[in-house]
Amino acid sequence: MPYIKVWIHFVWSTKHRIPFMKTREMRQTIFSHIRENANEKGIYIDFINGYTDHVHCLVSLGIDQSMSKIMQLIKGESSFWVNKNGICDEKFEWQDEYFAVSVSESIVDRIRNYIKKQEEHHQKKTYAQEFDELIEKYGFEKFKDK
């Protein structure tokens, strides 16, 4: 049996960054469902939180899991579930794109704390500002509309 531990910090937003997840209770309902669904599919979510228009999720990849498959399973099922259960007043969708970076074991606690404090964090800056900072910090090239 192989022993692996690969931490990934995922971030994704609602379609067009619409603040669908308006209340803390709504967010917690959605995040709890995402965690339960992921667990059923063998996806280990260490920590999940977010704000009105996005989600941060710390995942430990399993031996046969890919980032794209994890995002497909989490995002696809959760948007279907939100709509089926009438959690939002309008049609709920996730943006296709997502952000994913590896996390060193030495900073896992720091990432958990960052994810935990999303509500507080977004009193000071928008998700668009946060996203731009992450893109720059990790050296991604941001796609520009033509």
Residue pair 55/31 in contact by the 8 Å Cβ criterion: yes
Task: Pick the more confident residue, 122 or 58.
Answer: 58
Does residue 146 form part of some domain? no
Task: Give the whole-number percent of the chain exceeding pLDDT 70.
Answer: 97
CB-CB neighbours of 105 under 10 Å: 9
What's the confidence (pLDDT) of residue 65? 94
Please check the confidence at residue 120 and state whether its pLDDT lies above 50.
yes
User: Which pLDDT value is given to residue 143?
Assistant: 57
* Residue 106: CATH number of its domain: 3.30.70.1290
Whole-number pLDDT of residue 137: 82
Q: Which residues of 26-60 are buried (b: 16+ CB within 10 A; e: fewer)?
A: ebeebbebbbebbeeeebebbbbbbbbbbbbbbbb
pLDDT at residue 131, rounded to an integer: 81
Going 70 to 76 to 81 to 82, the CA torsion angle's sign is: positive
**Domain presence at residue 14:** yes
What's the Cα-to-Cα distance from 7 to each of 12, 32, 91, 106, rounded to whole Å? Answer: 16, 20, 32, 11
- Residue 124, pLDDT score: 87
Task: Let me know if residue 47 belongs to a domain.
Answer: yes
How many domains does one find in the chain? 1
- The answer as to whether 81 is a domain residue is yes
Query: Each residue of 25-48: pLDDT tens digit?
Result: 999 999 999 999 999 999 999 999
Mean pLDDT of 67-90: 96
Structural domain span for residue 10: 6-137
Within-domain flag for 73: yes
| Terminal C-alpha separation, the chain | 49
Task: Read off the pTM.
Answer: 0.89
